[in-house]
Chain A
Amino acid sequence: AQTVTQSQPEMSVQEAETVTLSCTYDTSESNYYLFWYKQPPSRQMILVIRQEAYKQQNATENRFSVNFQKAAKSFSLKISDSQLGDTAMYFCASGNFGNEKLTFGTGTRLTIIP
């Protein structure tokens, strides 16, 4: 069974600063993929970024980037130039090719301070 661990229940940073959210996972599979999802206070969850394990290059999406350390089973999310709209719960999730079920972590509540 897969497990996903997010060790930071809450974080806060000043607007325009950079923040890194941590995630570790455990899987016995060799082919898998990882996601970061964002859940703003309105509760509709949206995808932030996606990484497939076979790709060595870290995924980036504008101000969002990941640090994927496969050997350490670590998948952290970096948010640069943070904005007030980044305030949300952030969930790390993993899934295996073949068994398409996603396993989510417990989330990190991020607050951007004006």
Chain B
Amino acid sequence: EAGVAQSPRYKIIEKRQSVAFWCNPISGHATLYWYQQILGQGPKLLIQFQNNGVVDDSQLPKDRFSAERLKGVDSTLKIQPAKLEDSAVYLCASSITSGRDEQFFGPGTRLTVL
């Protein structure tokens, strides 16, 4: 069974530029999560989708971050414009139904904002 795929693996941008991350969850998983993991900290949930609907985006900085999961499968997370403090690893995860299920994580995208 293929795992959660993410691309790119690494990205370096200047502040105020835009960047987009892509995630393809495990086939059949209804729930998809985007986390931000700043160095030395645990993952922080940015947004959670159930199929193509948003379940929780309370910690998403909506003035600069956006995410979509149009067909209930893969998802993109965008930052526009990026700030220095956005430097982090962005993790995508998926689970069969809900947050109480095991979450399967992708390898992450390491973003560096200069």
- Taking Cβ atoms with an 8 Å cutoff, the residues of A that contact B are 4, 33, 42-47, 50, 52, 91, 93, 95, 97, 99-107
Tell me whether B100 and A100 are in contact (CB under 8 A): yes
Known interface pairs A47-B102, A47-B103. Does A100 touch B42 (Cβ–Cβ under 8 Å)?
no
Known interface pairs A46-B105, A105-B42, A107-B42. Does A95 touch B100 (Cβ–Cβ under 8 Å)?
yes
User: Which residues of B63-101 have CB atoms within 8 Å of chain A's CB atoms?
Assistant: 89, 91, 93, 98-100
**B-side interface residues, number (CB < 8 Å):** 23
| Count of A-B residue pairs with CB < 8 Å | 51
Tell me whether A95 and B99 are in contact (CB under 8 A): yes
Q: Tell me which residues across on chain A come within 8 A of B3, comparing CB atoms.
A: 44
Most buried by B among A44, A100, A106: A100
CA distance in complex: A4, B103 (Å): 18
Known interface pairs A101-B48, A104-B43, A106-B41. Does A45 touch B99 (Cβ–Cβ under 8 Å)?
no
Quote the shortest CB–CB distance from B91 to chain A (angstroms): 7
Contact of A44 among B45, B48, B105 (CB under 8 A): B105
Tell me whether A104 and B100 are in contact (CB under 8 A): no
Known interface pairs A43-B89, A45-B105. Does A101 touch B41 (Cβ–Cβ under 8 Å)?
no
Apart from the given pairs A33-B100, A100-B99, 6 other A-B contacts in the complex at a CB distance below 8 Å: A43-B107, A45-B105, A95-B99, A97-B100, A104-B43, A104-B44
